[in-house]
Amino acid sequence: MTVCTGNICRSPMSEVVLRDRFAAAGLHDEVVVDSTGISSEEHGNPMDRRAVAVLLENGYDDPALRGHQARQVRSVDLLTHDLLLAMTAAHAGALRRLAGADASLSARVRLYREFDPAAPVLRPGDPEHLLDIDDPWYGDRGAFVACLAQVEAAADAVVAHVVAELNAR
């Protein structure tokens, strides 16, 4: 599950990209990809039209482009998903707070850009926000193009991570 603020830009964009990559890897029947937001402010809303346009321009065609309805993450989502990919350190913090004292649930929370081979490698003491994916909502079309580039840069490594986890089972 990918997680951003309102579940209308970054997390549904990454959901579409990851679903495409898992399908290309032949895993569309084994891996379920979805998305949520930490806020309820956009609940029920479709994916941002600018996000849809950029995804379509880049060859993505997924039911989520037309049928997406934003939803807020719930504590049960932490139980039903093996990997929760936060778009920012603030989102990761919200997910960890939702996990409470359950260390096994907190361990499922990762920053999406941790998987980008070109992203900075965090050392002990480095702030997690160095791996944030900027919110394109406040920008122009270029902000959505940049967001998609960041999402795509990490997608193959996310797939490789999940494949390794599946093989370890």
- Specify whether the CB–CB gap between 14 and 35 falls below 8 A: yes
DSSP-assigned states of every residue in 4-57: ESSSSSHHHHHHHHHHHHHHHTT-TTT----EEES-STTTTPPPPHHHHHHHHH
Positions annotated as catalytic residues are 4, 10, 135
Residue in this structure with the two tokens 């390794």, named with its chain if needed: 164
Amino acid in the structure at residue 166: L
Identify the H or E element spanning 85.
Answer: strand 84-86
